[in-house]
Amino acid sequence: MTSVRMAITRKVSRSIADCQLTHLDREPIDYATAARQHEAYEHALAELGCRVLSLPPIDALPDAVFVEDAAIVLDEIAVICRPGAPARQPETPSIVEVLLPWRELAAIETPGTVDGGDLLRVGRTIWAGRSTRTNAEGVAQLRAILAPHGYAVHEVAIDRALHLKSAITLIRDGDEPAVLVNPAWIDASFLGAIERIEVDPSEPAAGNALLLGETLIYPEAFARTREKLEAQGFAIHPVPASELAKAEGGVTCCSLVFGVGG
Ligand code: CIR
């Protein structure tokens, strides 16, 4: 049993405006605003019971704030990713150091690529988005690493959004899981009977929520989807997230959350 929830975050790089962009046009990103909103996000993690390990920025790596892409941390093992954007590959060594005390580690090796944002865990199944960032070799390596730990890894194509979790995230864990999804970006029928809540069509990026226990850290901008979620009994902790959204980042992207004993 785990009794403490850790959240690894990394402060926003001063170079954030030079971030990678795939589906969005570049627009000015205000560092100070992004940093302030990120701090509010870290506070939200702490308020919801996480022990937040806030790493210093790496200004030479514009996207380093998006720590989710560097690893997937499961109860049994952490897998260090090999990000699909070459400019992001130097982000992983510092995450190795941070995770070493907490988990057995494995890593995706060249020529495999995997971004953590493409990995959706539902129970002991990992849905791996085949995106511009995550390739077949990377998914095959992940499958081989996780099979002995009892996880099944399945591929699902994602081409209308950056990452699988840009379009779909877990909003209830346990025996009766549920996801939040933008059906315009992904056909979620691969999930079979799992309950699906759809975003309001006017809020396409609203499918990315961060589940902590029974509460969702959720961008304050998506009022309509939020209303829908609350009407169905979901607890929402809103955060300002508009500035990093211009860098194609959502609320799952900015942390690695995992349980530790004691
Ligand atoms: C990138 O394109 O890699 C960054 N600008 C955004 C990464 C967002 N991460 C995530 O969705 N997990």
Tokens 């060594």 belong to residue: 93
Please name the residue ranges forming H helices in 13-100. 31-47, 92-99
Higher pLDDT, 11 or 261: 11
Burial of 3 (0-12, 13-18, 19+ CB in 10 A): exposed
Average pLDDT, the chain: 97
pLDDT above 70 covers what percent of the chain?
99
pLDDT over 90 at 1, yes or no: no
Cβ–Cβ under 8 Å, residues 80 and 103? no
Spacing, Cα 238 to ligand 1 middle (Å): 20
Distance 116 CA to ligand 1 centre (A): 9
**Contact 227/206 with Cβ under 8 angstroms?**
no
What's the pLDDT score for residue 29? 98
Catalytic status, residue 253: yes
Q: Are 141 and 112 in contact, with CB atoms under 8 Å apart?
A: yes
- Tokens 């730990």 identify what position? 149
Active site residue 43: no
- Look at the chain and count its residues: 262
pLDDT in tens, 176-209: 999 999 999 999 999 999 999 999 999 999 999 9
What token pair was written down for 37? 């909103």
Is 96 within 8 Å of 105 (Cβ atoms)?
Answer: yes
Cis omega (within 30 of 0) for bond into 111: yes
What is the Cα–Cα distance from 70 to 200, expressed in whole angstroms? 30
Among 243, 248, 254, 257, residue to substitute to test ligand 1 (most atoms within 8 Å of Cβ): 248
Q: 111 C-alpha to center of ligand 1: Å?
A: 20
Q: Pocket of ligand 1, candidates 10, 22, 81, 115: which has the most ligand atoms within 8 Å of its Cβ, to mutate?
A: 115
Q: Is the pLDDT of residue 3 over 90?
A: no
pLDDT at residue 44 in the model: 98
Per-residue pLDDT band for 262 (boundaries 50, 70, 90) equals: low
The region that residue 77 occupies, defined by phi over 0 for left and psi between -120 and 50 for alpha, beta otherwise, is beta
Cβ density class 241-253: b for 16+ within 10 Å, e for less: bebbbbbbbbbbb
